[in-house]
Amino acid sequence: MSDIHLERVIDLALKTPPSPDLVSGLPAAPASFCFTSLIDGLVEKRWFVAENYLPKALCNQLQQDLLLLHEQSLLSPAGIGRGKNHLLNEEVRGDYTHWLDGSSLAQQSYLALMRELKNTLNRELFLGLFEYECHYALYPAGAFYKKHVDSFRGQTNRKVTTVVYLNSAWQTKDAGEMRLYHPKTQQPLLDVAPRSGTLVCFMSEDLPHEVLPTNADRTSIAGWFRCNTSLNGRIDPAR
Ligand code: OGA
Ligand code: MN
């Protein structure tokens, strides 16, 4: 693949303005993506949702990339916990995952967009984010991920969670919404339909959330911006 081609795809991914038609109840996205509303959302509420954040063409390429990996049996049942504490637990989550490594043009375009987002978060919020790790996830029909937080204060260095969805023909009957809970009251805040292009972004330590049982195969990319605080005298490696 030529560098020029790659540049064009990244260029397109960075510059295509998100379309403004939104499901009621979500903040209205401006004609070109407004980082101010994302920053304000994170500061005031600890979360932010934007429909049409990822260009449709890029969503389709990522979806194809994911399905190709699935055909090659390169997705693995997801676990919970890290390192020695890593456990498979189908009662908690039933998705299959594959960590992105930039090995396709689609992944490179996506990672370029996330670098842009990381730079904005660091510039505006001084979060000291230095790394981004993310995985494709496929939830087969019937799968869910029970209520959880992504990061426990002081135990990991995941600071900001991103989830983007790749499902281009999602219908209400397919269910599989991500439910966000209020950090303090623990009451349900919002159900987000996993429609292609939607970005959910929240502070990893603050927002409990869950994936409600899905009625159709459901695809996403879940990712975490990390800061490099060392834990137990060593820098916690990604993953
Ligand atoms: C996760 C997660 C949500 C989703 O992977 O930790 O909460 O909607 N994913 O895929
Ligand atoms: Mn999560």
Lowest mean pLDDT among 75-84, 131-140, 215-224: 75-84
pLDDT at position 35, please? Answer: 85
**pLDDT band at 160; cut points 50, 70, 90:** very high
Ligand 1 nearest-atom number relative to CA 161: 6
Full-model pTM: 0.82
**pLDDT band at 238; cut points 50, 70, 90:** low
Distance between CA atoms of 204 and 36, rounded to whole angstroms?
Answer: 20
Burial category of 126 from C-beta neighbours within 10 Å (exposed 0-12, middle 13-18, buried 19 and up): exposed
pLDDT at position 228, please? Answer: 78
Distance between CA atoms of 229 and 169, rounded to whole angstroms?
Answer: 41
Contact (Cβ atoms closer than 8 angstroms) between residue 219 and residue 202: no
User: Atom 8, ligand 1: which residue's CA is nearest?
Assistant: 178
Residues facing 131 on adjacent strands? 226
3-226 has CATH 2.60.120.620 classification = yes
Per residue in 223-232, pLDDT (tens digit) is 999 997 665 5
Best substitution site from 218, 220, 221, 226 to test ligand 1's pocket, by max atoms within 8 Å of Cβ? 220
Residue 44 or residue 239, greater confidence: 44
**pLDDT band at 86; cut points 50, 70, 90:** low
Distance 4 CA to ligand 2 centre (A): 36
pLDDT at position 81, please? Answer: 67
Residue whose entry in the numeric block shows the structure tokens 């490099």: 228
